[in-house]
Amino acid sequence: MELKEYIASGQAVLGIEFGSTRIKAVLIGPDHAPIASGDYAWENRYENELWTYSLDDVWTGLQTAYAGLVADVRATYGVELKQLRALGVSAMMHGYLAFDRDGELLVPFRTWRNTVTGPAAAELTALLNFNIPQRWSIAHLHQAILNGEPHVKDIAFLTTLAGYVHWKLTGQKVLGVGDASGMFPIDSATGNYDAVMMERYDARVAPLGFPWKLGELLPRVLAAGEDAGSLTAEGARLLDPAGVLEPGCPLAPPEGDAGTGMTATNAVTVRTGNVSAGTSVFAMIVLEKALSRVHEEIDMVTTPTGAPVAMVHCNNCTNEINAWAGVFRGLLEALGQKADMNAIYTAMFRAALEGEKDGGNILLYNYLSGEPVAGLSDGRPLLVRTPGAKLDFAGFMRSQLYGALATLKIGLDILAGEDVTVDRLMGHGGFFKTPEAGQRIMAAAAGAPVSVMKTAGEGGPWGMALLAAYRVNREAGQSLEDYLAERVFAGQTGSTLEPDPADVAGFNAFMKQYVEGLAIQRAAIDHLSE
């Protein structure tokens, strides 16, 4: 009855996140715990040699996820969801959504997964003396310029997926600082785009005669808690075509999945970090000092409040594990058995713990798409083993889990060489769903203790809901760090695993072969056509 009245009186807070395979909406109650949810499965498409999602799917997915949440509220609490206290939208970071002055999309959405901006990223990294990854929005823009694409002159607004949805819900062209830091470098001292770098870029493209300067195209940057507008009548109908949801609730600044991951794991303070492992994998560590030099394998982004973060981002993680789970499901079905996917995944992950520590001379490359950290422009998933390797289920799965994190480990080893210290590394995402298995392998990769909270499975949409709650419920002057520590995570429990020395040694032995074997991966890209 208490939650029913809480929802009916318009006090509940909603977080929505557009992940790479799922759009999920999470409603939270007075103690910040989820009380209802809805989701929608979607997939990117490879069209005209680019990874994309259609904008029609964006809205179909959003409306379906929200309708599922409304149905959950109705079934569980017997009440209609008419009002919200606050709302927030997050999504996959980076990418390229370019609109003209009439608000029309100029070219199909180019997602973070694309690795076609190598020349632009290299030039910008040199120009700005700052690592610009291929998936960043500025890299996509500059590559379009280098390609001579005619639409560039007509751009009036450039944003991310979260920024786009927020714009349509509120009319505001804004972006949370964490998401903005994946469009163009942020100066943490000002909390805005780096002015010196912006001037350098404008000077670089000025001779080309475009009718814009970069700052005119990008969303306005906001920190967590700032006013990002409110839900308009048009936005309410976009979210809820049934017409029940009332407009007017405040929205939090739209964020990227990196920022919501940090929030959902309480990893927004200095010397804390988190690892999000699912379709892609990324590790983020809040820095206490700047890195000594530019590393092309390390991205510099920010927390939702603008603090500097070192990020290792890998395009590929569990995709091969998922593909092989499908193979095992097919085997069970061919044997006339009912396939329980949760049971299949649990068996796969648990078996990995019994495999040989070094992977047993089995190498698994999970590159479905290109992987800049490994210097690969395209993907060719590979399973390679020596003739004497023992190919059994446990060893195969050990190599699967190692392979899912191998590219991430390349970046983490660079940070270790920079003496970056992590007091607490939090894990979340599907890789950590099976108790102990993913957590133990991650601890071996990082050489640091890894914790998983009971709330880790809630992930990004819950993190976005927390940011929306902070927007409307914080006390005067209360920082996001204090809000999370005192009002959200106080008293929460989880499990922590220290790295096992044998696992660490085994992973390091695997990595030696893995790095040498990247030549096989490059040959496959060169000689095995799509």
How do residues 284-321 score in pLDDT, each as one tens digit? Answer: 999 988 888 999 899 999 999 999 999 998 999 999 99
Does residue 282 carry a pLDDT above 70? Answer: yes
Does residue 91 form part of some domain?
A: yes
- Of 105-114, 140-149, 226-235, 425-434, give the lowest mean pLDDT range: 425-434
Q: In 267-373, which ranges are continuous DSSP H helix?
A: 319-334, 341-352
Give the model's pLDDT for residue 467. 98
Instruction: Give the model's confidence band at 429: pLDDT under 50 very low, under 70 low, under 90 confident, else very high.
Output: confident
Does residue 409 form part of some domain?
A: no
Residue 395's alpha-carbon distances to 38, 348, 442, 521, in angstroms, are 37, 11, 17, 21
Mean pLDDT within 376-393: 93
Task: Extract the tokens encoding 530.
Answer: 């799509």
Radius of gyration of the chain, Cα coordinates, nearest whole angstrom: 23
10 Å Cβ neighbour count for 142? 24
The conformation of residue 382, written as its DSSP 8-state character, comes to: E
- Conformation bin of residue 26: beta by default, left when phi > 0, alpha when psi is -120 to 50: beta
Instruction: Give the model's confidence band at 455: pLDDT under 50 very low, under 70 low, under 90 confident, else very high.
Output: low
Mean pLDDT within 97-126: 95
Cα–Cα distance for residue pair 246/224, rounded to 1 Å = 24
End-to-end CA distance of the chain: 57
Give the model's pLDDT for residue 146. 98
10 Å Cβ neighbour count for 269? 18
Cα–Cα distance for residue pair 421/270, rounded to 1 Å = 9
Q: Tell me if residue 336 falls in helix, strand or coil.
A: coil
Give the model's pLDDT for residue 108. 97
- Taking a C-beta distance cutoff of 8 angstroms, is the pair 222, 253 a contact? yes
Provide the whole-model pTM.
0.84
What would the pLDDT profile of 473-486 be if each residue is shown by its tens digit?
Answer: 999 999 999 999 99
User: C-alpha angle with apex 154: 150 to 156, nearest 5 degrees?
Assistant: 145
Does residue 453 carry a pLDDT above 90? Answer: no
In Å, how far from its chain's centre is CA 226?
A: 22
Give the model's pLDDT for residue 457. 56
Cα–Cα distance for residue pair 218/138, rounded to 1 Å = 10
What would the pLDDT profile of 60-89 be if each residue is shown by its tens digit?
Answer: 999 999 999 999 999 999 999 999 999 999
- Taking a C-beta distance cutoff of 8 angstroms, is the pair 321, 305 a contact? no
Give the model's pLDDT for residue 280. 87
- Of 7-11, 134-138, 490-494, 521-525, give the lowest mean pLDDT range: 490-494
Give the model's pLDDT for residue 363. 95
Does residue 186 form part of some domain?
A: yes
- Taking a C-beta distance cutoff of 8 angstroms, is the pair 388, 414 a contact? no
CATH number at residue 250: 3.30.420.40
Does residue 45 form part of some domain?
A: yes
Instruction: Give the model's confidence band at 110: pLDDT under 50 very low, under 70 low, under 90 confident, else very high.
Output: very high
Total domains present in the chain: 1
In the block, tokens 């696992």 appear at 503
Does residue 482 form part of some domain?
A: no
Give the model's pLDDT for residue 430. 85
Does residue 135 form part of some domain?
A: yes
Does residue 41 form part of some domain?
A: yes
Range of the domain at 59: 2-255
Task: Extract the tokens encoding 174.
Answer: 């804004």
What would the pLDDT profile of 249-279 be if each residue is shown by its tens digit?
Answer: 999 999 999 899 899 989 999 988 999 888 8
φ/ψ of residue 350, rounded to 5: -65, -35
- Taking a C-beta distance cutoff of 8 angstroms, is the pair 14, 1 a contact? no
Give the H/E segment covering residue 120: helix 118-128
| Ordered DSSP codes for 56-79 | HHHHHHHHHHHHHHHHHHHHHHS-
What burial class does residue 118 get, using C-beta atoms within 10 Å of its C-beta: 0-12 exposed, 13-18 middle, 19+ buried? Answer: middle
Mean pLDDT within 131-138: 94
Does residue 215 form part of some domain?
A: yes
Task: Extract the tokens encoding 401.
Answer: 């889990």
φ/ψ of residue 58, rounded to 5: -55, -50
Q: In 429-528, which ranges are continuous DSSP H helix?
A: 437-446, 459-473, 480-483, 501-516, 518-527
- Conformation bin of residue 5: beta by default, left when phi > 0, alpha when psi is -120 to 50: alpha
φ/ψ of residue 281, rounded to 5: -140, 135
Query: Strands, DSSP E only, in 244-381?
Result: 255-256, 272-277, 281-286, 299-302, 308-314, 362-365
Cα–Cα distance for residue pair 444/503, rounded to 1 Å = 6
Does residue 458 carry a pLDDT above 70? Answer: no
Mean pLDDT within 316-331: 96
- Conformation bin of residue 141: beta by default, left when phi > 0, alpha when psi is -120 to 50: alpha
Exposure string for 72-107, b = 16+ CB within 10 A, e = fewer: bbeeebeeebebbbbbbbbbbbbbbbbbeeeeeebb
- Identify which has the larger pLDDT, 501 or 458: 501
Amino acid (1-letter code) at residue 152: V
Instruction: Give the model's confidence band at 456: pLDDT under 50 very low, under 70 low, under 90 confident, else very high.
Output: low
Mean pLDDT within 183-203: 96
10 Å Cβ neighbour count for 5? 11
Cα–Cα distance for residue pair 164/44, rounded to 1 Å = 17
- Identify which has the larger pLDDT, 168 or 455: 168
Cα–Cα distance for residue pair 388/399, rounded to 1 Å = 16
